[in-house]
Structures are given as C-alpha cells and as structure tokens.
Amino acid sequence: MDPDNITPEENTTAADQPEAPATRYYGKAVALVAAAGAGHRLGADKPKAFVELGEHTILQHCLLNIAASGVFEEIVVMASFEMCSLAIDQSTALELDIPVKVYPGGVLRSDSVFEGIKRIMANDENDPVSIIAVHDAARCLTPPKLFADVVEKTRLLMTVNNPGAVIPALPVTDTIKMVDSVGNVIGTPDRSRLRAIQTPQAFDAKLLSKIHEQAAAEDINTTDDAALFERFGITVMTVEGDRRAFKITNPEDLALANIYMNQDEND
C-alpha cells in the first residue's frame, strides 16, 4: 500500500462516501469481538475465548462488559468455525439487551477483523453504521467505561469533521530498546513518549472498512487496526487505558484475572 496515494481528505470525501463525517455521526455503534484465536500459549484444552474464569467464560465476561457500557447497538463475535455454535449458546445464555451475532473468523487476527467488518457493513445503506470498536476477546476484563470512552471520543472527532480512531494507551514502566535481527541493541526510544496499546479501538466505520479493503488487497497484516490508520496519516487519538484491559495470553494471566475479579467484587 502506498500511503502517499491516499490522503485523509480522499478517505473522508471521496465519491464512494456520500455522507460527510459529521452526518455519519448518527449511525449505530457496533462492537466487533475477535475471538477466533486458538490461544495455544494458554495451554488450555479449548480455544482461549471458551476457557472458564469464575462463573463465566472469557467470551462471556467480554460480552457482559461490552453490553454494560451502554454505547453499542450490536455486538459481532468472530469465532473459529467449529466454535461458532458454542459462542451462540454462550451469548444467548447471558440474555443481553443488545443482539449478538456470531460469524466464523479467519487464519490471522486481521482476517477475522476484516471478515467481521464486511459482515457489519453489509447492510450499511439501510441501517447505517457509524462506529466500529474492535476488541480482543482475550481482554475480557476491560471495564465498560473504557468502551464508552473510545466510542464517545470517536463521535467527537466526527462532529469536527476529523474522522479517525481512538485507542487506549498506558505509559510503559520498562525501558524499551530496539534490536537488530541478531539481538544487538540499535536504539533506546525516549520512554516518556512510549505507550502500551490496548483494545477496544474505535474507528469511523466507513474509513475502517475502506482501509481494511486496501490492506487486504495489498496483503498487509498489522498487529492492531490503528496501525493501518497511521499508515495513511489519519488521526489516531489516545485515551487513558486501564490495567484490567490486559490481554490474557499465558497461564499466569488467568491468576491475574482472578485477582482483578476479586478486587472488583470487593470494591
């Protein structure tokens, strides 16, 4: 992809985007949950999203927190093909007050997200979508407020005709170094300017859809979706992240998740 061939202006006012960003403000907000990973590093006997954490599975915690934020009209879950029916059962059991749709994801996280975006935008003409917030199921203890923060700030960007992305960020405590391919240090970025990035990441939906289409066409794979916006020089704003939005990856992360859950119960 050649970022020089596309400008923020082209993205927001091109002929294939009939509405100005500020009017797109009125469409619905959809949470897109990436839950199709195998989670091998967790060492469980099932895909990570279906591992139990207290009374619920990781996927169910995630859905409960998203619904509790009160900012979404719909949740779309991407699960691996063989787990789709269990994902439907587990979401139905929660009796949430917003619809949850489940679709099969892809080989990479970026494939799952792109597939989800296509599903969400399929009926955009009749039922406009304004914002898509992409979230890792593995960050299942993300507090509802963080979802509300990123969605509200994304709408705010739209009202000033500056559509973009809003992502949670936390300062890093370690010194981070850049190394070459054999592990020799080649630089030490100023720590005060470094941030650890989490999800949910909220986006202007039409812009996200267009950018993912281009990335797929050019076989570009990034570890988060905001990186695609950055390539095009489109606004990516940060809000303060939350330690509870950490990603469950290794077995010891389950112990940390239990500590956070107990803390919340005692608050």
Query: 75-104: which residues touch ligand C5P (CB under 6 A)?
Result: 78
Q: Kindly tell me which of 22 and 169 has the beta carbon lying closer to ligand C5P.
A: 169
Residue with tokens 């993205």, as numbered in its chain: 11
Task: Give the interface segment with ligand C5P, choosing from 32-40, 147-155, 213-221, 259-267 (CB under 6 A).
Answer: 32-40
Using CB under 6 A, which of 108, 122, 156, 176 touches ligand C5P? 108
Using CB under 6 A, which of 30, 32, 36, 158 touches ligand C5P? 36
Q: How far is the CB of 245 from ligand C5P (least distance, A)?
A: 12
- DSSP label of 18: -
x/- track of binding to ligand C5P for residues 119-158 (CB under 6 A) = -----------------xxx--------------------
Taking phi over 0 as left and psi of -120 to 50 as alpha, with beta for the rest, 43 belongs to left
Cβ neighbours around 44 below 10 Å, total: 16
Using CB under 6 A, which of 6, 30, 35, 71 touches ligand C5P? 35
b/e per residue 160-182 (b: at least 16 CB within 10 A): eebbbbbbbbbeeeeeeeeeeee
Q: Kindly tell me which of 19 and 111 has the beta carbon lying closer to ligand C5P.
A: 111
Amino acid type, 7: T
In contact, 34 and 112? CB cutoff 8 Å: yes
Question: What element of type H or E holds 212?
Answer: helix 205-217
Q: What angle do CA 28, 227, 212 make, to 5 degrees?
A: 55
Residues that bind ligand C5P (CB under 6 A): 34-37, 48-49, 78, 105-109, 111-112, 136-138, 247, 249
